[in-house]
Structure 1
Amino acid sequence: MAASNYSLKVNRELLDPGFESYRLSLDAIPTYNVELDAAVEEVKLKDTQYTLEHMRAFGMYNYLHLDPWYEDSVLFVDCKGRVLSLSVTLDTALGKPREVFRISADSSRCEDRLCASVSLTSATWAALSDGTGRLHLLRTGKRGDSSHSKWEPLFSEDTGEPFTVLHSVSHVQAGVHNMEVLLLRIQKDPQETKGSGFSVSLEWITVANTAGHGQEKSYEVRKRRVLRGKSVPHYAAVEPRGRGLMVASEKPFVFTHVDGRPVERPEPEPMEEEKTDPIYFWQQTAEDVTVCVRLPEGVTKEEVQYRLTADNVSIGVQGFPPLLQGQLFAPVDPEASAWIIRDNKSLEVTLQKRSEGPVWAELVMGDRRGEHVMSDEQAALIHQRLTHLTSEDLSVSSGYVQASKRDKKFATCAPNFSYASLCECLRRAFIYRQPSPVETVLFNRKQGRQVGQVAKQQVASLDSDKPILGFRATNERLYILTSSNLFVLKVNNN
C-alpha cells in the first residue's frame, strides 16, 4: 500500500518576534469540584512494560475524554467498569456523572489489561476498548439530549492482544454505513534484534453494516490493515472519508499486513528532503548584516548587478537571473552599505541596519536558500533573552513564570485558541492567555517603549493530593480528573 513521508518543520512566520513573556496574574479562577462515588480506573504499568514507548502510550494516558460534538461534555471510566458522562450547563450546580455503558466484570481479571479507552466516532456513535482486547462499537443516540438513554452495543469483537483506541470516524459510502477505528498496541517483535525488542503497531479496522434495506443493522469487519513503527505517534487519525491515515511520529510507519496477508514493503521514503548547498550565507550583529553570495568563477565587478533600497535587495550576474532578490526583513541604510568581491568567487555585502538591536529572523522574506551563521554577539543576545523568558522566579514582582515545566504531564488548548494550558503530575495547572490590550499605561523598562498588550499567565492549585489522570479544555472551561474528583475550572466567561 502506498505511503508518503513528510518532514514537519516550524513555520517561523507564525512566531511573534516581539513577544516578551507572560505576566503572572493573581486573578482567581472559579473552580468547582465533583466528588466521584467510585475511583477512576487507573491501570499502572507492569514490570514488563518498561520502555519509553510504554510510558508514552499507557503511562501518560489521558483518562478524560471530551465530546467534540457536544461542548462541555466529558467522559471517563471508573473502577466498576462504568462509562460515566458529565455535561456542564451551570457551573454552580454540577450534577453527578451518569452511567451510559458498563464494561463486563470479566474484563478486570485479565492480567495484561490496559486502561479502558473511548473514542467518540460521531454525534451518535462511539468506539470503546475494555482494555483486554475487546472492541465495542456503540450506538449512543444524540448524546446532547436530556434523555438518559444507555449506549447500545451493535458490534463487539475480541481482536487479540490488548489495545487502546486512538481514533474513529463514521461515514456513509455507496449507501452503506461504515466505521473506521484505529487501534494502538506495543508488541514484542521477534525480528527486532536491537533495542528493546518492542515495536508499535497500528491496526486500522473498517466495520460496515452488512444488513439489507429494511433489515436489522448487522455490523461486520470489512477490512483490516496493520502498520508498524518504532515510536508512539504524537498524532494519528483516520481521514474523514476513510481513504487514508494521517500519522505524525518521530519515526516512519509502514504497512505490514492487509486482511492477514503480508504486504511487500518497498523501501520507505526518507523523512528528510534532500538538502542542497546554500546559495548564500549571512551573519548579523546588533548594527549590521553581512551576506556572502556565491558567484560563478571568473566574474568581474563590472558584471555584478547590485541594487539596494531601504527595503529591497537584488544581487546577480549580468546575463543570469538574480541570485538573491526580494524584500529585506527590516529596513537598512543604503548609503552606509557596501559590497566587495572576495577571492573571485563570492560577493560580500554589508548592510547597515536602520534600527540597531532587533534580531532578524531571515534575510529576505520567504527566501530559504541561504544559511544563517550565528555570530558570538548574537548567540550571547539570544542566550540572555532565553534566560529572561525561562526564569524560575515565581514572585509577583518579576511577573514571569517558567514556560517549560519539568513536571509537565498534559498540555491542551482551547478550540478557539483563546488560551493554552498545561498541568503537572500533582495539583497545579498553568493557564496561558493570548495577549490582550492593557487599560493602564505600561513601559518596557529595558527598551523604554510603551507596552500596548500583555499576555497573562494564571496558576490554579487544586484541593487534592491525588495524581492528575485526565486533562481537557473547551473554550470556557478546563476539566481536570483525579482518581476521586473531577474539577471544573471556569477559564473564560463567554
Structure 2
Amino acid sequence: MLSELSPDSSLLMPDFDGYKLSLDNVPIYTHQLTTGVSHREPTSHQFSFAFVRLFGLHNHLHGDPCTKDQVFLINDNGEIVKHLWNSDKRLFESSVVASTSTGAECRVLNPSLCLDAPGHAAAMTGGADGLLTVFFTGDRTTNEEWKQIASLKVSTPGVVRSLSFDQEKNELQILVESVVLKDAFPELESLKEGEAATLIHWLKVNPELGKGDDSVVFHKKICVHGVVEYVALEEGGQAIYICSEKEPVYAYDSVRPCTPTLERVLREPIAYTWSQTEENISVSFNIPAGVDSINTEVKEQNLKVTIASPCGQFSKEVINGTLVQSVLPEIDTKNVDGSVELRLTKTEAGVDWFEFIRNDPNGTMAANEVDVEKANSCLDKYTSEKQAKDAEGLGHGFNNSQLEECDELPASSKLQRLPLESHSPSHIVLLSSQQWLGNSRTPIAGQQPTLLLRHDVDALVWQPGHHLESLTQHLATFPGFGYVQASKTSKKWLVWPPGASWVAVVDTHRHIYLYHQPQPLQTQLINRKSGQKVKTVAKQQVVGLPDNSARVLGVYPEDDKLFVLLANNSIVVVQVNQA
C-alpha cells in the first residue's frame, strides 16, 4: 500500500514567533571514567561514504528504555559497564555487568549494544569474526551480572540496531547493520567494483536450541545499494521498517528461497521510447545486467522483441503488438552497455506515425532533432536574449544561486515495511519532499524508534506503526527547528526525549544547543512594535561542554536530562528541565 505523510494540523504552529535566547543556568555534572571507552577510527580500506557514516555517527552511549537514569557503554577491556545516575548525590554509581570475548586489537568496527527488549540485550564486539552475543539481563535496576545465553557469528561484522523478544516462544529477533564491498558480496549485481552497500542481517534466535549457530531459527539478509537512514523491528517482530534511497533487496533467506535479482527485475515492464524520420523508426530501451541476447521478429504487421539471460534461464517480452504501419523485416540492433537501439525501415517513406504499437502504455514518443530544430526556428521571433525588467504582472524572478542549502529538496527516499512472510513491502511511505533529520535514541519499550523529518520550516516527530492507516503517526512538532538546525554546520546528532518537550543540536565538540517547546507565560507581554500580545515563549539555551577539545562520542536523552559521552573518557549530565 502506497501512502504519504499526513501532518496533524492541530500540532502545527503557524503563528510561531521564533526562539528566544535564555540566560537561565543549565546545571552540568561531570563523571570521569576509570577505563577508557572502546573507540576506533576507520582504516584506509574503509574509505567509502557508508563506512565513514557508520563510524562517524556511531553512538557509544546506550540507554535503557525500560529504566531511567542509567546508561551503558563498552570499555577498552571489552566490559559492559552500567552507570547509574544518583540525582540526590549528583554522581554515578558504576558496575561491570558483563564482558565480551574479543579484545580491542581484533576489532574492525566500534562495539555496539542494544537494550530494546526487557530482560535481554544483544552486543557485537566489532570484531572481524562478526561475533554476536545475546545476554539475559534480568532486572537491569540491580547490579547482577548478565548471563550469556547465545553466541553466534554473523557473516559480516556490524552494529546491532534493534531487538525484540517474544516471551511466549522465548525467541529473540535481532537486526544487525553491516557495510560490505563488492569483493565481499558479489551477489549484488548492480554494485560496481570498490562500491559499498549496506547489509541488514535479520535473525531470530532461540537459546533453547543451543548456545551457538544452532540457536538460529532463521537468518535473512537484506541488501541496499548505498546507506540506510532507519531500520527497526516492528513490535511483535512481524516486520521490519527500513528507510533508504535505493530499493532493499533480499539477498538470502534461510526459510524462503530468494528470487534471483535478474528474474525479479524482468517481472517489471520495460519502458521504451521511439522517434521517427521520414524513412526510419528508432526504438530505445535499457536492459538489466545479465541479459545477453536480444531477439526481434516481424510477422506481417506484428513486432515482437524479446530479451533473455544466458542459456535462456529467464526471458521477457519488451514489445509484442501490432504496428501502426508496416515495416521491412530487417531490423538493425545495437547494444552499448545495456542501452539498446532498434532501427526499423518504413515501407511507406514520408508517412508520419501518430503511434508506434497500438494501445501500448510502455512506449513514449520522443521528438527527433530535425523536428526540434524546426520548432525552435518557428519560436525565435517570440523570444529574446534580454531579460524583461519591471514587466507588469511578472513579479520578481529567482534563480538557484539565491536558494539556501537548507531549501534544497532531498533525494527521493522511502520508508517501507517488509513483512516477515514476504520479500515484498506491504506498505510504502514516500518521503520525496521531506528532509531526513534524525532517529530517536530513546525508543519507548515495545515501540519502534521515532523519526524526525523536516516539514517546511518545522521539524515533525513521526511514529511508525503497522496498525496506522498511513503507516506513520504525527506525534509532535518542533516549530521552526527545521530551518534552525540547517545553520548548525558542526552538528553531529539531533536528539529529543520521548516526551518531545525539547530538542537538542549536539555538535561534534564544544557546544549543545537546546530548543524548548513554547510554554505559556504567567504574566502578559506585549510586543512594543506590533502591539501583539505574546502568550507563549520558546526558549533557546546554549550549553558549553567542560572540555572544548574533546569530541562527543555518544548521547542519550531523557525527559529531564541529557547524557553526553566525551572522548576524554568522561560522562556529562546536562540537567535540561529542573524539577
User: Residues 8 and 188 (structure 1 numbering): CA distance in 2 closer, same or farther, change over 3 Å?
Assistant: farther
TM-score normalised according to structure 2 size: 0.58
- Between the two proteins, what is the percent identity of the paired residues? 26
Q: Which residue of 2 aligns with 1:297?
A: none
Assess if the C-alpha contact under 8 Å between 1:176 and 1:209 holds in 2. no
Distance 1:28 1:442 in 2: 23
Q: Which residue of 2 aligns with 1:423?
A: 506
Distance 2:522 2:252 in 1: 61
Assess if the C-alpha contact under 8 Å between 1:223 and 1:259 holds in 2. yes
Assess if the C-alpha contact under 8 Å between 2:485 and 2:505 holds in 1. no
User: Residues 447 and 217 (structure 1 numbering): CA distance in 2 closer, same or farther, change over 3 Å?
Assistant: same
Q: Which runs of 5+ in 1 are unaligned?
A: 271-373, 391-400
Match of 2:564 among 473, 480, 488: 480
**RMSD over aligned Cα, in angstroms?**
3.3
Q: Which residue of 1 aligns with 2:576?
A: 491
Distance 1:119 1:431 in 2: 26
Q: Which runs of 5+ in 2 are unaligned?
A: 269-393, 408-456, 459-482
Q: Secondary structure at the match of 1:53?
A: helix
Q: Which residue of 2 aligns with 1:241?
A: 236
Deviation at 1:238, TM superposition (A): 1.3
Assess if the C-alpha contact under 8 Å between 1:167 and 1:182 holds in 2. yes
Q: Is 1:206 matched with 2:291?
A: no
Query: AA paired with 2:163?
Result: S
Query: AA paired with 1:184?
Result: E
Q: Which residue of 2 aligns with 1:300?
A: none
User: Residues 446 and 74 (structure 1 numbering): CA distance in 2 closer, same or farther, change over 3 Å?
Assistant: same
Match of 2:174 among 171, 181, 199: 181
Match of 1:162 among 157, 177, 189: 157
1:87-236 residue pairs with structure 2 within 5 A? Answer: 87-90=84-87, 92-104=89-101, 106-110=102-106, 113-132=108-127, 133-145=130-142, 148-172=143-167, 175-189=168-182, 190=186, 191-194=189-192, 196-210=194-208, 220-236=215-231
Question: Which digits, 9 at most, give the CA deviation of each residue in 1:55-107, with x for residues without a partner?
Answer: 22222111111100111211111112111111223154313421111122x43
Distance 1:447 1:250 in 2: 45
Match of 1:23 among 16, 20, 23: 20
Question: Which digits, 9 at most, give the CA deviation of each residue in 1:112-131, with x for residues without a partner?
Answer: x2111000142211001011
Distance 1:16 1:179 in 2: 42
1:294-443 residue pairs with structure 2 within 5 A? Answer: 376=396, 402-404=484-486, 405-443=488-526
Match of 1:58 among 44, 47, 55: 55
User: Residues 36 and 269 (structure 1 numbering): CA distance in 2 closer, same or farther, change over 3 Å?
Assistant: farther
Assess if the C-alpha contact under 8 Å between 1:64 and 1:472 holds in 2. yes
Assess if the C-alpha contact under 8 Å between 1:116 and 1:128 holds in 2. yes
Query: AA paired with 1:422?
Result: V
Question: Which digits, 9 at most, give the CA deviation of each residue in 1:227-249, with x for residues without a partner?
Answer: 01123322211122221111122
Deviation at 1:269, TM superposition (A): 11
Distance 1:8 1:63 in 2: 34
Q: Which residue of 1 aligns with 2:550?
A: 466
Q: Secondary structure at the match of 2:52?
A: helix
User: Residues 462 and 445 (structure 1 numbering): CA distance in 2 closer, same or farther, change over 3 Å?
Assistant: same
User: Residues 219 and 418 (structure 1 numbering): CA distance in 2 closer, same or farther, change over 3 Å?
Assistant: farther
User: Residues 486 and 249 (structure 1 numbering): CA distance in 2 closer, same or farther, change over 3 Å?
Assistant: same
- What is the total number of aligned residue pairs between the two structures? 364
Query: AA paired with 1:69?
Result: C
User: Residues 475 and 485 (structure 1 numbering): CA distance in 2 closer, same or farther, change over 3 Å?
Assistant: same
Assess if the C-alpha contact under 8 Å between 1:470 and 1:480 holds in 2. yes
Q: Secondary structure at the match of 2:170?
A: strand
Distance 1:422 1:479 in 2: 13
Question: Which digits, 9 at most, give the CA deviation of each residue in 1:157-184, with x for residues without a partner?
Answer: 1223211101111013xx4211000011
Distance 1:269 1:441 in 2: 66
Question: Which digits, 9 at most, give the CA deviation of each residue in 1:21-61, with x for residues without a partner?
Answer: 11110111111111011211111111122222212222211
Query: AA paired with 2:41?
Result: K
Q: Secondary structure at the match of 1:210?
A: helix
TM-score normalised according to structure 1 size: 0.67
Assess if the C-alpha contact under 8 Å between 1:170 and 1:240 holds in 2. no
Distance 1:201 1:258 in 2: 13
Q: Which residue of 1 aligns with 2:78?
A: 81
Assess if the C-alpha contact under 8 Å between 1:117 and 1:131 holds in 2. yes
Query: AA paired with 1:458?
Result: Q
Query: AA paired with 2:178?
Result: R
Q: Which residue of 2 aligns with 1:355?
A: none
Distance 1:442 1:377 in 2: 39
